[in-house]
A and B are shown apart, each in its own frame.
Chain A
Amino acid sequence: MIPPDDPALVRILAADGSYAPTPAAEPYLEIVDALPDADLEQFYRDMANSRAFDRQATHLQRQGQLALWPPSFGQEAAQVGSARATRTQDHIFPSYREHVVCTIRGVDPVDIIRLMRGLTHSGWDAADPKNGNTRPYTLVLGAHTLHATGYGMGLVFDGRTATGEPERDEAVIVYYGDGASSQGDVHEAMVFAASYRVPQVFFLQNNQWAISVPVATQSRTPLHLRAAGYMPSILVDGNDVLASYAVTKRALDEARAGDGPRAIEAMTYRMGAHTTSDDPTKYRTSDEEQSWTLRDPLVRMRAFLQARGASDAFFADVDAEAQALADDVRTRTNALGTIPAESMFAHVYSDPHPLVAEQRAWLADYEASFEEGAS
């Protein structure tokens, strides 16, 4: 739960969409006030698109098209705000629920689908410029936080950051959850990041639950204060896209400038199930879910834009675009073929390996023996 009077909380939009900055938000207002209308509208468009995609993927899983789907439902503002705050040259290390972040950076939603369908362990190529330096998902919780830190150390050692030219300085941002924050790897990543003054933002989406375990089991101290033991740390309302954008933008700018790593705890809520295999009614109340529905990030931003005069035509256009996206995802998912069996022997090593080669040949012969038998 968001303590309503936590003095550290950065929030700009109240739950009803009114512009009501908290005292902690004051230093960030210049960032938000400088945003042109087109950007504000884009934030809303991003949220609407990702919600439609997420809903479609959930349906596709229910219809047997996917092995699993971890919904991003409810976490759109934290993800849109932070992703829109990154620069082209930044590097993104997602966990496994950052569909919104990934698609904003350019990843094709169907590439995320291919992973959850069981066709690939990775889905997209981080080195392909169209994917916006976005690394593939990591399912072992917290493991990727160290990879992000190591990558950031590389940026420092190669002089790719803190050059005095903000337009080309690079930074890394890593996403993880309240549950993952208990992993040793996350703490070790913070130790290394601080030690080497790595240009890194640790972006924690505190969605209140790690499957069935409430955040209080992970920490009796607010998570942003725990991170503050390692580095400057900020608490933000993760259902407020403007606040999420502003704090991430500043944290990344500081990191790129050579000030070292920053931590952000974005208070949000997983409005859906943990994954399509999960049944949240086993561990949380509908009252609680209801209380967060009242803080829905899309509703909040929509109200804000309406009050600023956004037209009905704009919202109709956004809805149509979101629907078209969802339809396209469905069509292309249904058209996904299978993968050849021998693909499992590819890329186990970079150089030829006799055992793998022998087994690949054996399988080919074995499968051919069935075809002969059948004919």
Chain B
Amino acid sequence: MTEAATTTRPAEVTGTLTTMPLGRALNAGMRAALAADDHVLLMGEDIGRLGGVFRVTEGLQAEFGEQRVLDTPLAESGIIGTAIGLAMAGFRPVVEIQFDGFVFPGFDQITTQLAKLTNRSEGRLQMPVVIRIPYGGHIGAVEHHQESPEAYFTHTAGLRVVSPSTANDAYWMIQDAIASPDPVVFLEPKAKYWAKGEVDTASRAVPLHASRVVRRGTDVTLVGHGAMVTTLLQAAALAEGEGTSCEVVDLRSLSPIDYGPILDSVRRTGRMVYAQEAPGFTSVGSEVAATVMERAFYALEAPVLRVSGFDVPFPPAKLEGVYLPDADRILEAVDRVLAH
């Protein structure tokens, strides 16, 4: 397997294990996909010469050329609409949206076209299009640059929605998403782009749509996705100090949701907290909470709680620290489920 050829941060390689930041792992995963199939294309604003505003596609245009890695005109509806046409013509476009808040000019193409074409064509058309969206807060940026829009996409039938939280998942999930015959909304936790992790370039740990236990525990099950997984792990470490053992589950796939590991865990702990940056109302956390209550009702010792961003527009950067759930807010919910 390969790692990125052009890299400002050289990867440290040991056997098939390579340590790299999450953003680099995405780069390496896309590079592998571009090398394996000459109908894989990358498209987006500033992704070529600049390598993207987060440098996730750095070096790929130099290596694969301007017809494989396209600096597109500045128009999201145009980018996604033409990606649909390219998919009809046998390509596998991987689209980059520059920031979460700028996906909406393309929302019509995603929801009314991309999501429905397989169904409308009675299965005659496949839509292997990946839409990469850097999402979430923690970067102190201005309006529209810190949002978590996942629920709009999970609410839309026909889209698969995933979000890696580690470098290893980033490396494999982007390749699995590109291989998917269905459209995949690929949410990249931008706060984690620089977080290093070990990548096993020889084999994937779990399939694209699996959820996964990332920390074992016995008292409370903590579930979340994307950058929030790190916060859950911090909360679990703090709780440990106070004598509470938390199990942490990384959702990984937001649609479909793999409930196996979650239900398994809740049946052992009897308590669950879901944490997310997105507002709580009609959110992914709401969906998981409802399903757990339906399927593990008799195992529950306490109501399932959600810890979320507030149901207000993402605030100016100076308030993101209050808006975004931190370990303290998660522990407050842990205390509440334990009080039952």
Please state if A217 and B72 are interface contacts (CB–CB under 8 Å).
Answer: yes
With A67-B142, A344-B319: A359-B311 Cβ-Cβ less than 8 Å: yes
Which of B46, B315, B323, B329 is the one whose CB lies under 8 Å from A213?
Answer: B46
Residue in chain B with minimal CB distance to A212: B50
Interface segment out of the listed B15-23, B74-82, B227-235, B257-265: B74-82
With A67-B317, A366-B332: A217-B311 Cβ-Cβ less than 8 Å: no
Cβ of B312 < 8 Å from any Cβ of A?
yes
**Min CB–CB distance B100 → chain A (angstroms):** 11
With A182-B78, A212-B71, A356-B312: A117-B102 Cβ-Cβ less than 8 Å: no
Please state if B104 and A184 are interface contacts (CB–CB under 8 Å).
Answer: no
Cβ of A140 < 8 Å from any Cβ of B?
yes
A277 surroundings in chain B (CB, below 8 A): 53
**Contact flags (1/0) for A88-108 with B, using CB distance below 8 Å?**
000000000000000000000
Question: What is the bound-complex CA distance between A282 and B53, given in angstroms?
Answer: 11
Please state if A217 and B142 are interface contacts (CB–CB under 8 Å).
Answer: no
Question: What is the bound-complex CA distance between A184 and B145, given in angstroms?
Answer: 21
Cβ of A343 < 8 Å from any Cβ of B?
yes
**Contact flags (1/0) for A259-271 with B, using CB distance below 8 Å?**
0000000000000
**Min CB–CB distance A374 → chain B (angstroms):** 13
Please state if B71 and A217 are interface contacts (CB–CB under 8 Å).
Answer: yes
Cβ of B316 < 8 Å from any Cβ of A?
yes
Cβ of A313 < 8 Å from any Cβ of B?
no
Please state if B73 and A217 are interface contacts (CB–CB under 8 Å).
Answer: yes
**Contact flags (1/0) for B36-56 with A, using CB distance below 8 Å?**
000000000110111101000
A356 surroundings in chain B (CB, below 8 A): 310-312
B141 surroundings in chain A (CB, below 8 A): 67-68, 118
Please state if B142 and A344 are interface contacts (CB–CB under 8 Å).
Answer: no
Cβ of B144 < 8 Å from any Cβ of A?
yes
Please state if B140 and A343 are interface contacts (CB–CB under 8 Å).
Answer: no
Count contacts on B: residues with CB < 8 A to the other chain. Answer: 38
B78 surroundings in chain A (CB, below 8 A): 182, 184
B102 surroundings in chain A (CB, below 8 A): 140-141
**Contact flags (1/0) for B310-333 with A, using CB distance below 8 Å?**
111101111100110000010010
Residue in chain B with minimal CB distance to A367: B322
Question: What is the bound-complex CA distance between A10 and B266, given in angstroms?
Answer: 72
Interface centre among A118, A182, A359 (most CB of B within 10 A): A118
Chain A 134-151 residues near chain B, CB threshold 8 A? 139-143
Interface centre among B310, B311, B316 (most CB of A within 10 A): B316
Cβ of B105 < 8 Å from any Cβ of A?
yes
Question: What is the bound-complex CA distance between A313 and B229, given in angstroms?
Answer: 63
A121 surroundings in chain B (CB, below 8 A): 143, 313, 316
B142 surroundings in chain A (CB, below 8 A): 67-68, 115-116, 118, 139
Question: What is the bound-complex CA distance between A17 and B78, given in angstroms?
Answer: 42
Interface centre among B50, B51, B101, B142 (most CB of A within 10 A): B142
**Contact flags (1/0) for A151-167 with B, using CB distance below 8 Å?**
00000000000000000
B49 surroundings in chain A (CB, below 8 A): 212, 282-283
With A140-B102, A213-B45: A339-B316 Cβ-Cβ less than 8 Å: yes
**Min CB–CB distance A228 → chain B (angstroms):** 19
Please state if B73 and A185 are interface contacts (CB–CB under 8 Å).
Answer: no
Cβ of A40 < 8 Å from any Cβ of B?
no
Please state if A211 and B46 are interface contacts (CB–CB under 8 Å).
Answer: yes
Cβ of A335 < 8 Å from any Cβ of B?
no
Question: What is the bound-complex CA distance between A339 and B320, given in angstroms?
Answer: 11
Chain A 266-285 residues near chain B, CB threshold 8 A? 277, 282-283
Cβ of A320 < 8 Å from any Cβ of B?
no
Cβ of A338 < 8 Å from any Cβ of B?
yes
Question: What is the bound-complex CA distance between A222 and B312, given in angstroms?
Answer: 42
**Min CB–CB distance A354 → chain B (angstroms):** 10
Please state if B332 and A345 are interface contacts (CB–CB under 8 Å).
Answer: no
Cβ of A12 < 8 Å from any Cβ of B?
no
Cβ of A180 < 8 Å from any Cβ of B?
yes
Cβ of B194 < 8 Å from any Cβ of A?
no
Tell me the A residues contacting B by CB distance below 8 Å. 67-68, 115-121, 139-143, 179-180, 182-185, 210-213, 217-218, 277, 282-283, 338-339, 341, 343-345, 348, 355-356, 359, 363, 366
**Contacts A/B (CB < 8 Å), 22 sampled:** A68-B142, A115-B142, A117-B317, A118-B142, A118-B316, A140-B104, A182-B78, A210-B74, A211-B45, A211-B46, A211-B50, A212-B46, A212-B50, A218-B74, A277-B53, A341-B319, A343-B319, A345-B310, A355-B311, A356-B312, A359-B311, A366-B329
Q: A118-B317, A139-B101, A179-B74 are in contact. List 5 more A-B contacts (CB 8 A).
A: A117-B318, A212-B46, A212-B71, A213-B71, A283-B50
Tell me the B residues contacting A by CB distance below 8 Å. 45-46, 48-51, 53, 71-75, 77-78, 101-102, 104-105, 140-145, 281, 310-313, 315-319, 322-323, 329, 332
